[in-house]
Amino acid sequence: MTESALLEARGLTKHFPVRSGVVHAVDDVDLEVRAAGITAVVGESGSGKSTLARLLARLIEPTSGELLLDGQAGKAAPARARRKYARAVQLVLQDPFSSLNPVHDVRYHLARPLKVHKLAGGSLDEAIDGLLARVSLTPSANFSAKYPHELSGGQRQRVAIARALAVAPRLLLADEPVSMLDVSIRLGVLNLLADLREKDGLAIVYVTHDIASARYLADVVAVMYAGRIIESGPAATITSQPAHPYTELLLSAAPDPGRSNRVPVRGRTPPPNPVTPPPGCRFHPRCPHAMAVCASDVPAMTQISPGHHSACWLHASTAGKEA
Amino acid sequence: MIRAGEPLLEVSGLCVDYGSGDDAVHAVIGADLALRRGEVFGLAGESGSGKSTLAYAIARLLRMPGAITGGEVVFRHEGGAVNLVNAGPAQLRELRWNQLAVVLQSAMHALNPVLTIEFQLTDVLKAHRPDLDRAARRACAGELLKMVGIAPDRLASFPHELSGGMRQRVMIAMALALQPQLLIMDEPTTALDVVTQREILNELMDLRTEFGFAVLFITHDLSLLIEIADTIAVMYAGRIVESAPAGDLYLAPRHPYSYGLLHSFPGLRGPVRRMTGIAGSPPDLRKPPTGCVFHPRCGYASERCVREEPSLATPAAEPAGTAHRVVACWLHEPGAATPAELAGLAPALESTS
């Protein structure tokens, strides 16, 4: 199974020390990204999804666990290894208003990675034109001399994506790439990501809070809650037959104009404090099905159907006995 | 559901500019809308469409350089009708909070970080209910918190000690302190997680049933609005381009922009199909397009759309006897060839879900 994995996270954990203890931002996350696959990581704010994206980009070092690129663990060493990793895995950030440098034009933003990675080869201008064309900013002559403030939000995000594509990565990490954009242009950017996968075989990790857009774009959806992945599986299965009570909650709360009746939302317990997460299953204080075992032991990922896993005692083979 | 049909708020021809003279940006142009008592009226649009400006103008909260340059806002309360556009400061003070309250988007910034929740909740009562003494105000503030599902012992908390959802609930409690007739909510749940958003909306709808206030609900999230609103007006570049009962708008949008917006939200059910969104990006209001403001992004634009601006009118082919709907589009002129997807009783959304 691991043969075809482009990037694999094993037991990835990130704790941030704070005065009152440690923030359990990401705990024991296993994730597998296949070549030319789109994996969506869905979660609420504070679920650790952005920290996970940063870990996958190696912007921050994990507290424990490992990241395997093409089955090989990268050495925590120096610039050369980092640069090699960056050639394969690139990150696009949420806010194109702050991720582009306001004092430089588009050409500078795209030339930079080409120069740093010594990829310009023949003609720099040709390479830049090619990149702009790939993100549908054509004719490129209209855009390369523009400054970020002269572009709309959607165009800026396209420039940010083009910059990430400059090194010809095999995996693009997109952290909430459309949440800052106007509603009418979000789909354009999502479709661009879909096209990049379709045409160029780019693998994508799409981090989002919007489960409907995850269903639209991704093949595989992983749902995070309080730092852990609690369910993962094919996008269609997750949204039509969720196995974890939290996924059910998330789906029932999502806006759905086709819904005829009002949705009951159970409990008013807020998501847990990441410094002192509840023991056992982190969702148990909010869970309508919580059992004794949920408060004491962390449920392991259990297979529901091929490719569909959920970490819930309801699905564990021992659930019958414990309940 | 409360269906008290009496009109509560009538906005006609409202225009708002930022700046003056030739440099003025026309943020709202000739907006017409009518709210009935107890109704949830949704105002949908993208950023820069003028939806917040319109709400601020109604509550007379615009700051310089924003100014109302025309139109009227008639508010009908028990004491009679007032044109808010001409209302003086004393009259506005009498109406605001008593009759008309506003909930702002960012509760993080709307609450004062150095004052307790109790101080901020009782402040309203101190200003508007001089008959209450300190203990009564405190008790009342506790009741208000309980009403939005927060334990009254949180009165002593500071805003940073509450979660985002609780802060927004405090804002709602504060707005409802004097039982207003109209609640204006500007993106009240946009900064919140979906689960919290759903909880707050459910509570809001319960409170509305209990107290019978009307809500002017502003958001960019049309799919949310369709669930909660009775009537929806869609704004684009400062104009209301379509206004219809929520169900009608959902099942059969008439304006190409409404149609595009509805097709910009991937659904949670049915087969996943490629959706296109809307080509191009919203116009720069300093240099609005000629004619219909939507024509540069519209797939149906004709030569007439470039020259002449359509005004809101009942679509020619609207089935008789259906509820009130208006749209500003040349495609719905009598005799115009309306494309099937914009003319249908056909459930247009089927293809997106």
Q: What is the DSSP letter of B96?
A: B
Domain containing A165 equals: 2-246
Q: What interface predicted TM-score (ipTM) does this complex get?
A: 0.83
- Classify B261 as helix, strand or coil: helix
A56/A42 Cα distance (integer angstroms): 15
So what's the pLDDT on residue A320? 43
Q: Which amino acid is present at A54?
A: R
B60/B72 Cα distance (integer angstroms): 11
Contacts of residues A137-140 at CB distance under 8 Å and 24 or more positions apart, as own/partner, are A137/A162
Q: Where residue B30 falls among pLDDT bands split at 50, 70, 90?
A: very high
Q: How many CB pairs under 8 A join A and B?
A: 117
Tokens representing B60 are 């007379």
So what's the pLDDT on residue B11? 94
So what's the pLDDT on residue B343? 80
Count CA within 13 A, CB hemisphere, residue A7.
28
Which helix (H) or strand (E) segment holds residue B240: the answer is strand B239-245
- The residues near A245 (Cβ < 8 Å, ≥ 6 apart) are A283, A287, A288, A289, A312, A314
Are the Cβ atoms of A252 and B269 closer than 8 angstroms? no
So what's the pLDDT on residue B107? 67
Q: What is the DSSP letter of B260?
A: H
CA nearest to B353, candidates A239, A181, A183 = A239
pLDDT digits (tens, 9 = 90+) for A276-311: 889 999 999 888 888 999 999 999 999 999 999 999
Q: Tell me, yes or no, whether A265 lies in a domain.
A: no
**Number of domains present in the structure of chain A:** 1
Instruction: Tell me which residues of chain A have a pLDDT lower than 70.
Output: 1-3, 74-77, 260-269, 317-323
Say yes or no to pLDDT of B344 above 90.
no
Q: Are A132 and A155 in contact (CB under 8 A)?
A: no
Average pLDDT value for residue range B158-163: 88
Q: Which pairing describes strands A203-208 and A21-34: parallel, antiparallel, or unpaired?
A: unpaired
B90/B102 Cα distance (integer angstroms): 18
Q: Are B214 and B7 in contact (CB under 8 A)?
A: no
Q: What is the DSSP letter of A301?
A: P
Are the Cβ atoms of A182 and B267 closer than 8 angstroms? no
Average pLDDT value for residue range B22-36: 91
A29/B343 Cα distance (integer angstroms): 50
Average pLDDT value for residue range B100-128: 88
- Residues A107, A112, A117, A120, Cα dihedral to 10°: 30
Say yes or no to pLDDT of B323 above 80.
no
Q: Tell me, yes or no, whether A303 lies in a domain.
A: no
CA nearest to B59, candidates B2, B6, B11 = B11
Q: Where residue B320 falls among pLDDT bands split at 50, 70, 90?
A: low
So what's the pLDDT on residue B351? 41
CA distances in angstroms from A258 to A213, A293, A310, B275, listed in the order given = 16, 37, 27, 17
pLDDT digits (tens, 9 = 90+) for B259-283: 999 888 888 888 888 888 888 888 8
For A265, the closest of B166, B202, B226 (CB atoms) is B202
- The residues near B28 (Cβ < 8 Å, ≥ 6 apart) are B14, B15, B16, B50, B53, B54, B57, B238
Cβ-based contacts of A182 with chain B (< 8 Å): 46-47, 220, 281-282
Q: Which pairing describes strands B100-103 and B7-18: parallel, antiparallel, or unpaired?
A: unpaired
Tokens representing A208 are 């989002």
Say yes or no to pLDDT of B74 above 60.
yes
Q: Where residue B286 falls among pLDDT bands split at 50, 70, 90?
A: confident
Cβ-based contacts of B197 with chain A (< 8 Å): 253
Which helix (H) or strand (E) segment holds residue B44: the answer is strand B40-44
Provide the CATH number for the domain around residue A107: 3.40.50.300
Are the Cβ atoms of B277 and A215 closer than 8 angstroms? no
pLDDT digits (tens, 9 = 90+) for B166-210: 888 899 999 999 999 999 999 888 878 888 888 889 989 999 999
Q: Tell me, yes or no, whether A293 lies in a domain.
A: no
Average pLDDT across chain B, whole number: 87
Are the Cβ atoms of A182 and B276 closer than 8 angstroms? no
